[in-house]
Amino acid sequence: MLAQMRGPVALVGAGEFLDQMAEFDRGLLVSTGRTRPRVVILPTASALDGEEVFQGWADRGVEHFSRLGAEVEPVLVRTPEEGFGPAAIQAIGEADLVYMSGGSPRHLLTVLTASPLGDAIRTANNRGAVVAGCSAGAMAMAGRLMDFRMLPKLRVPMPFPVRWPAGLGLVDNVAVLPHYDAFPEPLSAAFTLQAPRGGVVLGIDEDTAVVGRSGAWQVFGRGRVTVWRGRHRERFRKGEAFRL
End-to-end alpha carbon distance in the chain: 29
pLDDT band at 120 (very low <50, low <70, confident <90, very high): very high
In DSSP terms, 31 is beta-bridged to: none
Give yes or no for a cis peptide into 161 (omega within 30° of 0): yes
Tell me the per-residue pLDDT of 76-105, one tens digit each, with 9 for 90 and over: 999 999 999 999 999 999 999 999 999 999
pLDDT at 179 over 50: yes
- Please count the CA atoms within 13 angstroms of the CA of 2 that sit on its side-chain side: 4
* Low-confidence winner among 51-60, 163-172, 183-192 (lowest mean pLDDT): 183-192
Give the model's pLDDT for residue 153. Answer: 56
pTM metric for this prediction: 0.93
The angle subtended at Cα 112 by Cα 58 and Cα 177, nearest 5°, is 80
pLDDT band at 162 (very low <50, low <70, confident <90, very high): confident
pLDDT at 130 over 90: yes
Give the model's pLDDT for residue 4. Answer: 60
pLDDT at 1 over 60: no
Give the model's pLDDT for residue 80. Answer: 98
Helix, strand, coil share (%) of the chain residues, nearest 5: 35, 30, 40
pLDDT at 154 over 80: no
Q: Domain-by-domain residue ranges, the chain? A: 9-243
Residue 144's CB: how many other CB atoms inside 10 A?
A: 23
CATH fold for the domain made of 9-243:
Rossmann fold (3.40.50)
